Structure 1
Amino acid sequence: MENINKDNRKSKVLHVRLSDSEYQSLLLKANIANMNVADYTRSLIAEGDVIYVDKKEIRELNFQLRQIGNNINQIARYINYRRIKDDVPHQEIFTIKDSLKIIAYMTQKTLDAFNVRKHRK
């Protein structure tokens, strides 16, 4: 455990000269990434890129997924109700299944795009 702490100790200092515009750009990018300049710079050195993920986008995606879940529950209740009353037309079931496949595909594409951005760091 002691070796790990020694390896993580930040004892080296890096001095870099920047122009005003470069420095402002660095401050802006660190701020956008919700990081201080030191952490942002370390991330650039260690990983090559800093990927900013907009939490607002993630919240919107979660909201949309919850809405889709609500819609699916309504569809399931409708189908169960129709089964009790009478037979559900097969075409209706196939249409619903196709719609669910499209939703699943679109959701997966969105999550894959997010994961690619997240892991590209």
Structure 2
Amino acid sequence: MGSENRKRNKNVHIRLSDDEFEQLRKKAGYVSLTVPGLLRELAIHQKIRQPQSPLIDRDGAFSIADELRAIGTNINQLAKKANQGAQVIGLEGVQRELGRFWQLLSSKLPR
């Protein structure tokens, strides 16, 4: 006879402090279960919350930072030329880059 006829033939071992075990024993007693029965009920039937996804994923944040650096470099070059008295042209390109940046940023934010 023995263990080959058991429905539950898998074991899970955890380590608990005396205090943790006593807390579990009390909680199990409140609902007329054994400690293993309580743990089984909690593990199988308790709803687990899905973790919240981050607002911006890490790769997206690095991509956005790269875009910002490139735009900042272009703006600094234009400002330097303007301060030297040169006629500044090419602002349309900066506006296009800013538009691309905002599209990229918008695609990374949760809806």
TM value normalised by structure 2: 0.49
Higher relative contact order (CA 8 A, sep 6+): 1
Higher helix share: 1
TM-score (norm 1): 0.46
